[in-house]
Amino acid sequence: MLFGVTIIAGLLWLFYKHWVSVYTHWKEKGIPFHPAKFPFGSHPNLVKLKEYRGYTIDKMYHRFAPHPMFGIFFLRSPMLIVRDPETIQLILTKEFSHFRDRRILKISEKDVLNHHLFYLQGEKWRDLRMKLTPTFTSGKLKAMFPLFISCAESFSSLLLSKSDSKIDIKELMSRFTADVICSCAFGLELDVINHPDSKLRMIGIEKIKLQFLQKLKMAATILFPALSTLLNMRFTSLEDEKYILNLVKKIVEQREKNGIVRNDFIDLLMQSKNKGNQGDNEQEFEKTFEITLELMAAQCYVFFLAGFETSSSLQSFCLYELALHQDIQSRLIKEINEKIENNNGLTYKALHEMEYLDMIISETSRKYPTLPMLYRSCTKPIILPSGHKIEQDTIISIPTWSLHHDPQYFPDPEKFDPQRFSQENRGSIVPYTYLPFGEGPRMCIGMRFGLLQTKVGIVTLLQKCKVETCEDTKIPLVMGGISATTAPDEPIIIKLIARS
């Protein structure tokens, strides 16, 4: 009995020593670091996610000023936090070939819906990115614009029924964004605006929440990538996978059989599948990249998730700030009225003439960046200008929230001030301190689409209603740890007032 207890104790001690052995990593590199403790690493909140990650990292960010970078540990994985804009530019753009991959969860080959641009690595990412980039040009978005307007018309009817009442603005705007994405990604007219319990919208809502099992899988994948591959660990349920695959298959078959053209995302993927790189020289690619039905489904899946969550959050935060700042809202409504009247309606051209709207959305993106941190993985060793050598597989994190709230770059950062992004002031923003969509070759491919649907949603609402605070409006908003993105744990409640 005693011998058995001794063996177990000895094994536990060896496991502990192995676990903490890596905690000298940054000291050996000569890089300042936040100390780590068994088993969570530098901070339990980075693992438990009981506090918004942006807040946790921000405390460290200010503690290590003015160092250009500092090290932390996630469980027992070293991670380098880069806070210097010039080094960030080097990582994201100048030396991109050394930092081409994101910090990637090890995705099983069988988890087909997660083989999309966000997770893909190396040449596979490069080839697919080059194939898909032409689908998000201004010309392609302009061709899709009638689909946006169709959804906006349905949204207008819903707004009239909600006017003069308190509403959860995120829930309301997510109906609109889900409807737009269903139309533009899948070619489906599901009328999510009036039927919010649709299957696709429910998938989107559940995916963004980080449930305990998801947290456990993420930790296991980061710690033991080989084991997660061996076990074919999945991050998408089989039920959701079968639903999305069957949905895309039926849509493609129906369009090919009946010659249906909608100028939406699936149309553009089908063109790429059937015609190679949509007319580009295929010899530019180092290898042939076949767009299969599964790959198409994966791109539609991530397009839906990303567009659904990011745009509805951006719209919600924007309308919340407009409710707090009636003077800014009044000026924006005046601009909307003028541009729509000058263009005989809400047109693609009218939206692009709304400069103040663009300033407001840019400031909202600064104050509430969708992702509190950007991740990259070192793919080739490199020596930084500081003299520090970054080894292959080092995880790099860029603290977007902290940069956007650093008074050194954005004075009085908690103040909502669209003038920061006026034509006169935009040029004074320090490069690589404003990163709402990332930067460099791996920046968000759907940025233009996301901004377009955000503008359509806000303009449609403000044509019908004004927004005001009420007794249930939380001031200030506190971000939570439940969501994978920047979001409060509680609903954003404001009041809609019908415009006369």
Q: Which residues are annotated as a binding site for heme?
A: 444
Q: Using CB atoms within 10 A of its CB, is residue 150 exposed (0-12), middle (13-18) or buried (19+)?
A: middle
Spatial separation of the C-alpha atoms in residues 121 and 116, rounded to whole Å: 10
Spatial separation of the C-alpha atoms in residues 5 and 215, rounded to whole Å: 32
Which among 233, 236, 249, 172 has a CA at the least distance from the CA of 204?
236
Give the residue numbers of the binding site: 444
Q: What are the respective helix, strand and coil percentages of the chain, to the nearest 5?
A: 55, 10, 35
Question: Residue 324 is encoded by which pair of tokens?
Answer: 């707090």
How many C-beta atoms surround the C-beta of residue 258 within 10 A? 8
Spatial separation of the C-alpha atoms in residues 41 and 69, rounded to whole Å: 18
Q: Is 222 in contact with 233 (CB distance < 8 Å)? A: no
What are the DSSP calls for 402-415, one per residue? Answer: HHHT-TTTSSSTTS
- Contact residues for 164 (Cβ-Cβ < 8 A; gap 6+): 495, 496, 497, 498
Strands in 465-468's sheet, in edge-to-edge order, are: 165-168, 493-498, 465-468
